[in-house]
Amino acid sequence: MGNSESIASDHISVPAQETYMWYRTFMMEYPSGLQTLHEFKTLLGLQGLNQKANKHIDQVYNTFDMNKDGFIDFLEFIAAVNLIVREKLEQKLKWYFKLYDTDGNGSIDKNELLDMFMAVQALNGQQTLSPEEFTNLVFHKIDINNDGELTLEEFINGMEKDQDLLEIVYKSFDLSNVLRVICNGKQPDTETHSYLSSDGAGLGKVKMKSP
Ligand SMILES: [Ca+2]
Ligand SMILES: [Ca+2]
Ligand SMILES: [Ca+2]
């Protein structure tokens, strides 16, 4: 498919044998070699969301669509798998930072974080704190120079030190549950929101669908 040499590029460290297995799974599910936004949402059982939640998922999709052609190809797919399975906390936090920095200007402002928490609330239901309270809490804790913007450095340093904040971040989009959905194939309608409730199991286990 002409992807073989790019699979070996620097930041992708999924072993060849595993890569092949993922390739087969991906091509079985998406014979064209491309996953559309609609298919991404279908895979995760995330149709019919309200506008805010929907925009949040669009943004997630965009962070995986690295060449910005509107599709997730196999290389982008395996990079996402690699991020979820293998990368360290710092790399994951970089991904979340990119997710929250919706205008892409290299810092997260209060409105961006507020929008994100409102989307999370729309996805996960009412939380203990309101989106406004969450936003203020995060800025109070990790906006070190108090300028109302979170730089990548403030974000990573702050999150690494604070388990409670990290949990909030993980809740904003649970990567490990996404992986489980990918491994097990499309979700039946009855389990529409199963990816949202994490039980922490199954990470790193690659299961092939039976033919
Ligand atoms: Ca793409
Ligand atoms: Ca920004
Ligand atoms: Ca700051």
Digit-coded pLDDT (tens) for 94-135: 999 999 999 999 999 999 999 999 988 888 887 788 999 999
Q: Please state, for a pLDDT cut of 70, what percent of the chain lies above it.
A: 80
Pairing type for strands 149-151 and 107-109 reads antiparallel
DSSP secondary structure letter of residue 81: H
Distance 168 CA to ligand 3 centre (A): 19
Q: Which ligand is nearest to the CA of 158?
A: 3
45-96: per-residue pLDDT in tens? Answer: 888 888 888 989 999 999 999 999 999 999 999 999 889 888 899 999 999 9
156: how many CB neighbours lie within 10 A of its CB? 20
Which CATH number describes the domain made up of 89-171?
1.10.238.10
Identical topology for domains 4-87+176-184 and 89-171: yes
Distance 61 CA to ligand 1 centre (A): 10
The span from the CA of 153 to the CA of 162, in Å, is 14
The domain 4-87+176-184 is classified under which CATH number: 2.40.128.30, 3.60.40.10, 1.20.140.10, 1.10.238.10? 1.10.238.10
The span from the CA of 42 to the CA of 47, in Å, is 6
137-150: per-residue pLDDT in tens? Answer: 999 999 999 999 99
Sketch the domain layout of the chain as residue ranges: 4-87+176-184, 89-171
Tell if the pTM clears 0.85, that is, is over it.
Answer: no
Residue of 25, 31, 40 whose CA lies nearest to 178: 40
The answer to whether 83 and 77 are in contact (CB under 8 A) is no
